[in-house]
Amino acid sequence: MAYWKTGRSEMVKKKSGNTSGRGARDLRVKVKTARGRKLSSTLWLERQLNDPYVKRAKAEGYRGRAAYKILEIDDKFRFLVPGARVVDLGCAPGGWLQVAVKRVNALGEKKGKAVGTVLGVDLQEVEPVAGAEAHVLDFMSDDADQKVKEWLGGKADVVMSDMAAASSGHKQTDHLRIIALCETAAYFAFDVLEEGGTFVAKVLAGGAEGDLQKLLKQKFEKVVNVKPGASRSDSSEKFVVATGFRG
C-alpha cells in the first residue's frame, strides 16, 4: 500500500492490482474520513478522484466532466454545427462553452466552414474561454433576452443549460426546483431562438416533468429525453432535447 497526503487533514490510500498480462495496474484511490468532515463529503471526494470522466477532462483540458455530457448529446443530435449561434445559460465553469467553441468553429480553425458564435451567461464571472463571450447576467431579468440578441447580433440557433437549483437535500423539492428552472429557461429560449432551433436542458426525474414536456411539444417538432453515459448511473439527472423550434 502507498499513501500520500492531499491536504493537511486527509490521507489517501492507493490500491493496486494487476489488470493485464503486460503488468498494467488498476489504481483506485481510497479516502479516509478526516476529523470534522462528513462521511458524505469523503465519499464524494473519493468518487471524484476515481471518476474516469474527471480524469479524462483533466487530460483533455476540459474544465469539468460535464463537457462529456454535451459532447455525447451533440454526437447524437448534431445541433452544434459550424456557423451556429449558441447561448449557454449558467455557463460556469465553462466546459460546455469549450465544447461549443470547437464544434461551431467559433475560432475559425476549420477552414472553409462557417464561423459560429458562442455566448455564455452566468450570475458569476467565468474565466475566459477562447472563442466564447461570457457575460454576468441573470437570464430571468426582464431585458435579458434583448441583451442576448444584441450580443449575438440576432437570434440563437441553440439554447442550452446544465443549470441545477441549489440542493435542499430533499429529493422531491430539488426535483420541483430544477423543473421550474428548466421551464424558465425554456421560456427564455422561446424569446431568443431562431425558427428550427434547439433547446437542451438538464432535468431531474421525479414525476413533475410532464408539464414541461407538454410545453416543449407545443413549441418544437421533436422532444426527447436522454441520459448520456457521462451522467452518473446513481444520479436522477437526464437531459431534455427539443429540436425544430416552430417560432
As annotated, the binding site for S-adenosyl-L-methionine includes 94, 96, 122, 138, 162
| pTM (2 d.p.) | 0.77
Which of 182, 171, 136, 162 shows the shortest CA–CA distance to 68?
162
* Domains with residue ranges and CATH for the chain: 2-50 (no CATH), 67-245 (3.40.50.150)
Do 53 and 63 contact (CB within 8 A), yes or no? no
Is the pLDDT assigned to residue 34 strictly greater than 60?
no
Which pLDDT does position 57 carry in this prediction?
67
Q: Which residues are catalytic?
A: 202
Report the share of the chain in percent with pLDDT over 70: 74
Alpha helices (H) along 51-111? 52-60, 67-77, 95-103
| pLDDT tens-place string over residues 59-102 | 777 878 889 999 999 999 999 999 999 999 999 999 999 999 99
Mean pLDDT score of the chain: 82
Residues 6+ apart with CB under 8 A from 48: 54
Mean pLDDT of 8-32: 42
Q: Output the CA–CA distances (angstroms, integers) from residue 29 to 11, 59, 96, in the order listed.
A: 10, 18, 28
Do 171 and 179 contact (CB within 8 A), yes or no? no
Which pLDDT does position 7 carry in this prediction?
39
